Structure 1
Amino acid sequence: MKSNRLDILDRTFKFGVRIIKLANSLPRSPAGYAIANQLVRAGTAIGANLEEAQSAHSKKDFIHGVTISLKEARECYYWLRIVLESKLTEEKKLEAILDENEQIVKILVSIIKKAKSNS
């Protein structure tokens, strides 16, 4: 269990770094700046909220923290799709990060379900 926890914490941290790099590569235009800001905010909040949830005072508090991470992950997915559809970067650059985002969402959903069933 501890290994799985460290894995998702590490994955969300690395995901945040990848999001920052992607945001820095977007066009320097009004749309590019606006979307980059949203991507960085949502993409880095996934791991930050998950880290914070590790110090939760209760199971309910933990579930709440992970749920916030899930919401941020879903928002990040939205912005990544906006980047893809508006062709602000090459589709090839987005494939792996979109896939990782989907995997993170699935893991967070699983964590929430497991935590709820154990309460």
Structure 2
Amino acid sequence: MDSNIIVTKSFDFALDIINLYKFLIRDKQEYILSKQLLRSGTSIGANVKEGIRGFSKSDFKFKMNIALKEANETEYWIELLIKSNIIEQIVGNPILLKCRELCKILNSIVKNSI
């Protein structure tokens, strides 16, 4: 695993998303929103990894922008799952906080990329 903080945090977040997806399928029988969450939540780390290993600064910034968009989408799905009472706040809030932290880090990376 890379020592880069955004790589590590986005990978760990993807694992959290996979576990939440399993919970939604198994315990809540929720099959539609959970797939959207799985797709966007795991895409964050994939785009970060591609950006880190990119060919140029513009490639890096492009991939970080995509990762930020995916993080924002993931935040939306988590909020929707909580507000619709599909998942309880005690389950959703910790992962929502992690998602918002990723959004802040990615936003900072995008703003500071030249």
1:53 corresponds to 2:48: no
Residue 68 of structure 2 is matched in structure 1 by 70
Instruction: Describe the SS at the equivalent of 1:33.
Output: coil
Displacement over 2 Å in runs of 4+: none
Identity percentage of aligned residues: 37
Unmatched runs of 5 consecutive residues or more in structure 1: none
* Aligned mates of 2:23, 2:47 — CA distance in 1: 25
Aligned-partner Cα distance in 1 for 2:40–2:71: 7
Corresponding residue number in structure 2 for 1:100: 98
CA RMSD, aligned part only? 1.2
Distance in 1 between residues matched to 2:69 and 2:105, nearest whole Å: 13
Letter in 2 for 1:81: E
Between 85-94 and 37-46, the greater mean CA deviation after superposition: 85-94
Distance 1:23 1:88 in 2: 12
Alpha-carbon separation, structure 1, partners of 2:5 and 2:60: 17
So what's the TM-score if we normalise by structure 2? 0.92
Q: Which has the larger radius of gyration?
A: 1
Structure 2 residue matching 1:62: 3-state secondary structure: helix
Asked if residue 25 in structure 1 is aligned to residue 34 in structure 2, the reply is no
Where do 5+ consecutive residues of structure 2 fail to align? none
